[in-house]
Amino acid sequence: MEHKYFNKTLKVVAHRGDSAYFPENTIPAFKSAAELGVDCIETDVHLTSDGVCVIWHDDTLKRLTGGNGLVSDKSYKELLTMDAGNMFTMDNGKTFPYRGKGIKIATLDEALKAIPEMRFNVDLKDNNFDLVKEFAKIVRNNNAENRVLGASFHDIILKKIRIFIPEIASSFSKKEMRIIVILNKLKILGFFSNFKANAAQIPEFNGKTKVLTKSLIKIFHKKGVKVHVWTVNKKEDMIRFYKMGVDTVMTDDPRLLIETVNEMTKK
């Protein structure tokens, strides 16, 4: 039975929000993506030193705030002193339009409350069981079980997501996908039925190895698994992937992706 997370159309996922025009993974980026009409927002979470689940991609603060240190070593109060828009630029560093504008590092709870109808694809970055517990608590407290998908590159974290909050949708881990790709190349994947995830979230290539193929998409669909491809920013690739049969495209340019989907729908 298909998870309720997928009940509505899920073709356009904004990677870290409207991140081409706003500081990534911030509430303004999320609200802009929602206003554009995306189906879902992909985001990332870490746990602060005092146990707050914050939205941030990197382990460190340098790239986006200019500050030093690990997110996990900072308290939430310390993170609130950081300028999340400090280093954002659209012209290779000539100007910084959001510097000093008061954009803060947000919490997952704030994001779920800020856009209560939006679906979120949440990547748990820390290899930390406490993060999974806090994530599960926040999702349940917001009654968001049907609008949050749990993801992680850490195999053990995904296993814990499925234990601590089994009612939400989840994706395959990197290790699970590696096994799946091997089984597909051996042409025996179709004989397996114990698929623990609801979605396969994959790039076209992993290094030189082609991961996304029509045969893999076909098998996933037979098993009731959705196929999401990341991160796609060229129009010709967006069209190609949809024609291959993928369900969802993740992009840094949701404007272009929405335009592309609309054009393909009209044809």
Residue 166 — very low, low, confident or very high, per pLDDT cuts 50/70/90?
A: very high
Choose the catalytic residue: 15, 46, 154, 228.
15
Q: How much is the average pLDDT of 107-133?
A: 98
Rounded to an integer, the average pLDDT of 161-172 is 98
Q: Locate all alpha helices (DSSP H) within the chain, ordered by sequence.
A: 27-36, 62-65, 76-79, 108-114, 129-141, 155-164, 174-185, 214-222, 235-244, 254-266
57 is catalytic: yes
User: Which residue(s) pair with 206 in the sheet?
Assistant: 209
pLDDT of 185-235, one tens digit each? Answer: 898 988 887 788 999 999 999 888 899 999 999 999 999 999 999 999 999
Torsion of CA 55, 58, 63, 65, to 10 degrees: 30
> Is residue 46 annotated as a catalytic residue, yes or no?
no
> pLDDT tens digits for 68-84?
999 999 999 999 999 99
Rounded to an integer, what distance in angstroms lies between the CA atom of residue 192 and that of residue 8? 28
At residue 3, the pLDDT reads 96
Catalytic option among 46, 57, 154, 228: 57
Percent of the chain predicted with pLDDT > 90: 90
What domains does the chain contain, in order, with CATH numbers?
Answer: 4-266 (3.20.20.190)
Contact assessment for residue 114 and residue 43, using Cβ atoms and an 8 Å cutoff? no
